[in-house]
A = this chain, B = another copy of it.
Amino acid sequence: MEQKKQLLINRVKNNKNELLEDSIIVEYPLTIFLNNNEFVTLLCSPTGLEYLIIGFLISEGIIRNKEEIENIKIDEEKGHAYIDIKDKTLFAEKLFGKRTITTGCGKGTVFYNVLDSLGTKSIKNNFKIGANMVLDFSRQLNQDSILFLETGGVHSCALCDNDEIILFHEDVGRHNALDKIIGEALLRDIKLEDKILITSGRISSEMIIKTTKNGIPIVVSRSAPTDLAVKIAKQFNVTLIGFARGNRMNIYNGINRITM
C-alpha cells in the first residue's frame, strides 16, 4: 500500500495562490482483532504491518515472544488484522487493565512502578559505541527518511549494531515506528541487548519504557528527551542521548557506553 498520496492543494506564497499537486502522508486505520475480539485501532503508516502488530502486542505486554502467536492474517484493503494468540483467557481483563498504558501514560499512582511490575531489570550490558558512529547513524537516519523529506509527516526509527543500520522504519506515529522495529527484531530473531536505537522523535517516558522493557542499552534521539525519560534511564542504566545532530549530541545518562 502507498505511504503517501498526491493531492491538489492551494499553495499561498507572498499572498499569491497557486493550485498544485503535492505529496501528503497516508494515515491508515488498522483495527486489530485479538482472538476474534476487537482490540484496538492503530493509526499508522501502512508498511510493516505485521511487525507493527507484534511490536505493539509486545509493548502492551499482551505477548512476550513469537511462540505465543498462533496465527496472523491481515486484510489490507479493509484495514483489519486478525491475530490468534495461545492465551485465550483473561481477554477482558487484559484489555481493560492495559488501558491506561495505551493512552500515553502509566497506570495511575503506580506509574513509577510500571517497569518494576513488568519485570524490567537494570541493563547490565557493557556494549560500547564510538561517539562518531552515533552521529553517523543519526545522519543516515535523516538521509534515509525520503518519506519525511517528501511529506514532513513521519517519524523514523532505526536499530543499529556496531557497524551499521540493520532495521529501519517510518510511521506517522513515533511509537508505531518503534513498535515496528521491536516487532521485526522479534520475528527475525535479532537480539536487542547489543543494539542502538535511533529515533527522529522526542524521547518521552513511554518511549524509553518500551526500549528498556526490550533490553536496548543505548537510545539516541535527534530531538529532546523529557526529565522523566532521563530519570528512567538513570534508574535502569540506559544510555540516553538527545539532540544528536551534525557534530554534537547531549548525553543525559550512561556516558560509559560511549567512546570518544
Interface residues of A (CB under 8 A from B): 5, 7, 9-17, 22, 24-29, 31, 38, 40-43, 80, 95-96, 99-100, 102-109, 111, 131-132, 151-153, 172-173, 175, 202, 204-206, 223-230, 243, 247-252, 255, 258, 260
- The residues of B that contact A103 with a CB separation of less than 8 Å are 40-42, 102-103
Contact B25 A152 (CB under 8 A): no
- The residues of B that contact A105 with a CB separation of less than 8 Å are 29, 40-43
Contact B10 A251 (CB under 8 A): yes
Q: A100-B41, A247-B13 are in contact. Are A29 and B106 (CB under 8 A)?
A: yes
A150 vs B194: C-alpha distance when bound (angstroms): 33
A29 vs B173: C-alpha distance when bound (angstroms): 21
A91 vs B205: C-alpha distance when bound (angstroms): 28
Contact B13 A202 (CB under 8 A): no
Q: Who on chain B is nearest to A204 by CB?
A: B27
Q: A7-B227, A14-B247, A27-B226 are in contact. Are A95 and B104 (CB under 8 A)?
A: no
Contact B172 A25 (CB under 8 A): no
Contact B111 A41 (CB under 8 A): yes
Contact A41 B10 (CB under 8 A): no
Contact B106 A152 (CB under 8 A): no
Q: Who on chain B is nearest to A10 by CB?
A: B251
- The residues of B that contact A230 with a CB separation of less than 8 Å are 7, 24
Q: A17-B260, A227-B24 are in contact. Are A41 and B107 (CB under 8 A)?
A: yes
Q: Name 15 extra pairs, CB < 8 A, besides A22-B250, A29-B105, A43-B228.
A: A5-B227, A7-B227, A13-B247, A13-B248, A14-B248, A24-B230, A25-B227, A26-B226, A29-B106, A29-B111, A38-B108, A41-B105, A43-B106, A152-B202, A152-B223
Between A and B, 27 residue pairs with Cβ closer than 8 Å are A11-B248, A12-B260, A13-B247, A13-B248, A15-B260, A17-B255, A24-B225, A25-B224, A25-B227, A27-B204, A27-B226, A28-B228, A29-B105, A29-B205, A31-B108, A40-B108, A41-B105, A41-B111, A42-B103, A43-B204, A95-B99, A102-B104, A152-B243, A153-B202, A153-B224, A153-B226, A172-B226
Contact B252 A7 (CB under 8 A): yes
